Amino acid sequence: MGIYISAWLFVFGACIGSFINVVVYRLPKKAFLSKARSYCPACNETIRWFDLFPIVSWIALGGKCRACKARISPRYPLVELFCAALAPGCFWRFGFEWQTLIAFGVAVILLAVALIDLDTMEIPDSLVIALIPFAAGAVWAFSEVPLWERGVGFVTVSVPMLLLSLGIEGAFGGGDIKLMAVCGFLLGWRNTLVAFMIALILGGGRAIYLIFLRRKKRGEHIAFGPALCIGTAAALFFGTDLVRLYLGLYGL
């Protein structure tokens, strides 16, 4: 039964991944509803229904548009594959619980946030707002985190980020601050600190890597949203285990 459900969830996740690709491409262009059907960005030709199967169509077409033969980025099937694996992964992590739906919804929105921030250095307010219903649902689905801890989590990271951005120009973007406020309520203060610590390690490591390759200069801004999204997702799925592991190192 578990394998059967996982197979259906894999297909469902792939379809959601296809939708996330549309969101990531259209939302920054303010053209989300400009065209109902999917279309090739190179030739503007409407993509036919038999070329819209997630993952499979990209492989069948050899990664090219059927009409104009323009190259289609491999990021599209990779996003679909990630979401396809994510859906059954959430099921195996949380089981037949509302936590599965909350975790999957949060993860795919964070994926869209991360990709858009990488592309544009901006985090759309609409995606932060989309997280709010899931953060509210987490109060009930993840009831082991008291409401007061969620309230503290709302300000634990977001307020210091805001103060730093006021004191140091460009320290953090407004989207980063708003994202961590909502994610702080979602996670509670303990896991919010876990998420931010992971983000600092990943963001710092990426900055050093880009400077080493001379793709960025010292002091030049980089997108911090992807690191925050990865940290938040990791804390949502494994935060409690990570805290126990860390405290166990000190015999606590």
pLDDT tens digits for 76-93?
A: 999 999 999 999 999 999
Q: Which residue has the higher pLDDT, 230 or 204?
A: 230
Q: Closest Cα partner for 20 from 93, 101, 82, 73?
A: 82
For the chain, what percent of residues have pLDDT higher than 70?
92
Confidence of residue 175 (pLDDT cuts 50, 70, 90): very high
Contact 107, 16 (CB under 8 A): no
Q: What is the mean pLDDT of residues 105-117?
A: 97
Among positive and negative, which fits the CA dihedral 133, 135, 138, 140? negative
Residues contacting 45, CB < 8 A, separation 6+: 39, 65, 67, 68
pLDDT tens digits for 31-40?
A: 665 566 788 8
Among positive and negative, which fits the CA dihedral 91, 93, 99, 102? negative
The pTM is what?
A: 0.92
Q: How far apart are CA 110 and CA 129, in angstroms?
A: 12
pLDDT tens digits for 126-169?
A: 999 999 999 999 999 999 999 999 999 999 999 999 999 888 77
| pLDDT at residue 64 in the model | 92
Domain ranges of the chain: 1-96, 97-252
Q: How far apart are CA 119 and CA 111, in angstroms?
A: 12
What single letter denotes the amino acid at residue 27? L
Which of 27-31, 97-101, 190-194 has the lowest average pLDDT? 27-31
User: Residue with structure tokens 């964070």?
Assistant: 110
pLDDT tens digits for 219-251?
A: 667 889 999 999 999 999 998 888 888 777 766
